[in-house]
Amino acid sequence: RTVYVNGEYLPEEEAKVSIFDRGFLMADGVYEVTSVLDGKLVDFEGHAKRLERSLGELEMKAPCTTGELLEIHRELVARNGIEEGMIYLQITRGSPGDRDFVFPDPETTAPTIVLFTQNKPGLADNPVAKQGISVISIEDIRWGRRDIKTVQLLYPSMGKMMAKKAGADDAWLVEDGKVTEGTSNNAYIVKGGKIITRALSNDILHGITRAAVLRFAREAQMEVEERSFSIEEAQGADEAFFTSASAFVMPVVKIDGAEVGTGKPGPVAARLREIYLDESRKTAI
């Protein structure tokens, strides 16, 4: 696989980053995951805008323009022959050559930028979406700026391990009795045809897929309510699902061992997945 690091396209085994990189030492970095359908980028603009916001919130400089970023994404897709899959992009505050909590001077320390592709043939046709997945609930003990897409992913990673040990597929995070989001996705329930998902704030990541799915739902005259819900309410809902750039719309059929609705993926999630994939294929660049 050809990867990109700081201006160069290299075979992955030749790509190197300093041991003093603040991404490595302090999780001082941000990332984006953009999906690829039919060899094209889904919602590139949305991801580029969120990246810019994440960088701004952390007082980090962008290493290149959005236009250049698009070119790098396209070049990697082409070089690696990706038809379906993902592109991972990470920008860290770079390597000041020593360990120090204080941010280095951006005039003397350039950010580190790395991109690589993940080839996932059959991503859109994922059979798991026809069965749905199970989640457990765990306490949300992450920091208070979950709206910034940082590479501090230890707790989400632990959450996925807790789910695995409990025989489930993933975890939903709960704070003050209400679901915030999934370990790596936004959470929804459906009641009486109404789509319910937590409102945007610093408590959750502002999902690019969330924005698109809510827009498509409203355009299709489906009712949307942005508010918090509890695990109990989700267990008693007609349907549950999550969204993310890499899983699109994924039905959740079991929460803490209790079946949601019929225990099978419901019609609203199935329809939203179809609309999302159709529209994304049309607008991918």
Query: H or E segment at 139?
Result: strand 133-139
For residue 178, indicate whether it is catalytic: no
| Site membership for ligand PLP, residue 205 (CB under 6 A) | yes
Closest approach of ligand PLP to the CB of residue 195, in Å: 15
* Residue nearer to ligand PLP on the CB measure, 186 or 228: 186
Selected catalytic residue, list 16, 49, 120, 149: 149
CB of 181 to ligand PLP, least distance (A): 5
Chain positions 153 to 192 lying near ligand PLP, rule: CB under 6 A, are 181, 184-186
Cα 93 to Cα 90: distance, rounded to the nearest angstrom: 10
Q: Which stretch in 1-9, 13-21, 120-128, 237-245 sits in contact with ligand PLP by CB under 6 A?
A: 237-245
Q: Which of residues 240-269 bind ligand PLP (CB under 6 A)?
A: 243-245
Determine the residue type at 37.
L
Inter-residue long-range contacts of 43-49, CB under 8 Å, 24+ positions, other chains counted: 43/208, 43/209, 43/212, 43/245, 43/280, 43/283, 43/284, 44/70, 44/73, 44/285, 46/208, 46/211, 46/212, 47/89, 47/208, 47/245
Closest CA to 272 of 198, 219, 205: 219
Token pair in block for residue 254:
């079991």
Q: Give the amino acid at 98.
A: D
Q: Which of residues 22-41 bind ligand PLP (CB under 6 A)?
A: 33
Least distance from ligand PLP to the Cβ atom of residue 69, Å: 16
Binding track over 35-74 against ligand PLP, x by CB under 6 A? ----------------------------------------
Residues 211, 78: Cα–Cα separation, whole Å: 28
For the bound state, the minimum distance from the C-beta of residue 282 to ligand PLP, rounded and expressed in Å, comes to 18
Could you tell me the CA-to-CA distances from 188 to 1, 27, 44, 78 in Å, in that order?
36, 29, 24, 35
DSSP tag of 266: -
Q: How big is the site for ligand PLP, counted in residues (CB under 6 A)?
A: 13
Between residues 207 and 261, which has the closer beta carbon with respect to ligand PLP?
Answer: 207
Binder of ligand PLP out of 29, 94, 104, 207 (CB under 6 A): 207
Shortest Cβ 88–ligand PLP spacing (Å)? 10
Active-site residues, by number, are: 149
Contacting residues toward ligand PLP, per CB under 6 A: 33, 181, 184-186, 205, 207-210, 243-245
